[in-house]
Amino acid sequence: MEQTNFQLKKQDAQSHEWDARLHRATRATRKDWIGRGISYLCIGVIILVVASMLWFITSKGIATFTQNHVSLWKFLSGTNWAPDQGNIGALPMIVGSFAVTFAAAIVATPFAVGTAIFMTEISPNKGRKVLQPVIELLVGIPSVVYGFIGLAVVVPFMRHLVGGSGFGIISATFVLFVMVLPTITTMTVDSLRAVPRHYKEASLALGATRWQTVSRVILRSATPGILTAVIFGMARAFGEALAVQMVIGNAAIMPKNLISPASTLTSQLTTGIGDTIDGTLPNNALWSLALILLLMSLFFNALVRFIAKRGQLKNGR
């Protein structure tokens, strides 16, 4: 009896000890809290910054319609851009932006896909050792340099070739083509490399030629990735301001052809930004242009996500 009691007591004491040991915080757990805290803080700050930027641009951008009582339809469809006189038809810039973006993407995509196929399928070694660094270098060149080259080379060339001033959509397209080419190429290369090797082997073992394998199996299964690459390229082209501003001519009029001066949303923003007074219609109108840019970039993002999802469905169905 005596002994059992003793044992019980001892057990109690032990279990008490364990209770304390298993509940106390150690150095490791404290570090855990700190790490988590820092991480939450960072994400909190970023969310705050993004949210306030969205709110700021949106509130400023819609002031044109709420304070200055310009109708949204007139803003989107009007072709007369003279904010000083109260005319803010943004259609010329919208058309200009879309024109250079699509034209650059259409011209760049075949070159990018061709280069990517060369780098992954035809000559993977040279692709990795020579072309990859070259293309990565192209990505890193600042846009002002592209614009400068455009101004010094492309514009005079166009002037010589087709007459006029040389400034215009075609010059902007050319500069943007060079700028988006590396973006589309690198991303296409990634998506081609991600195609499982066994697809290629299966196709070759069936007697398909290399070209048939590339065109019908590899490109097919890389299509979602290539589309994403093109959209990223378009997003870059749509948002590019400086280089475009330097070569497009900055005339806020409806573009009648590819070789007369025009303007884009971004080029109009950079051109007009210094000349307006905060709170006035010309200033608010620029914010509205910025809002369109923001919405477009959201749209491009959503498109990329949509394609990624569809691609997954297709491969995993």
Partner 1 sequence: MLKQYSFEKTAVQTFPDNVSLAMRTENLQVFYGANHAMHDADLGFPKNQITALIGASGSGKSTYLRSLNRMNDNIATVTGKIWYHGVDINEPNVNIYEIRRHIGMVFQRPNPFAKSIRENIVYALKANGIKGKAELEERVETSLKGAALWDEVKDSLDKSALALSGGQQQRLCIARSIAMEPDVLLLDEPCSALDPISTVKVEETLLELQKKYSIIIVTHNMQQAARVSSQCAFFHLGHVMEYTPTATMFSNPQIPVTQDYISGSFG
| Residues of the shown chain interacting with partner 1 in the complex, contacts defined by CB under 8 A | 196, 198-199, 201-209, 212, 216-217, 221, 314-317
CB of 110 to partner 1, least distance (A): 23
Place of tokens 């060079």: 178
Measured N-to-C along each axis, helices 219-239 and 169-193 cross at an angle, to the nearest 10 degrees, of 140
CB of 191 to partner 1, least distance (A): 14
CB of 199 to partner 1, least distance (A): 6
Answer for the pair 166, 157: CB distance below 8 angstroms, yes or no.
Answer: yes
CB of 227 to partner 1, least distance (A): 16
Answer for the pair 91, 78: CB distance below 8 angstroms, yes or no.
Answer: yes
When the beta carbons of 176 and 192 are compared against partner 1, the nearer one is 192
CB of 221 to partner 1, least distance (A): 6
CB of 196 to partner 1, least distance (A): 8
When the beta carbons of 6 and 211 are compared against partner 1, the nearer one is 211
When the beta carbons of 60 and 200 are compared against partner 1, the nearer one is 200
When the beta carbons of 140 and 207 are compared against partner 1, the nearer one is 207
CB of 126 to partner 1, least distance (A): 14
When the beta carbons of 29 and 209 are compared against partner 1, the nearer one is 209
CB of 232 to partner 1, least distance (A): 23
Measured N-to-C along each axis, helices 219-239 and 281-316 cross at an angle, to the nearest 10 degrees, of 170
- Eight-state DSSP code of residue 214: I
Burial of 146 (0-12, 13-18, 19+ CB in 10 A): buried
Cα–Cα nearest to 253, from 242, 272, 268, 275:
268
When the beta carbons of 145 and 206 are compared against partner 1, the nearer one is 206
When the beta carbons of 122 and 162 are compared against partner 1, the nearer one is 122
Give phi and psi for 297, each to the nearest 5.
-70, -35
Paired residues of 88 in beta bridges: 81
Q: How many helices (H) and strands (E) does the chain have?
A: 15, 2
Burial of 83 (0-12, 13-18, 19+ CB in 10 A): buried
When the beta carbons of 59 and 315 are compared against partner 1, the nearer one is 315
Query: What are the CA-CA distances from residue 300 to residues 26, 226, 228, 230, 232 (Å)?
Result: 47, 14, 9, 10, 8
Secondary structure element (H or E) that encloses residue 184, with its range: helix 169-193
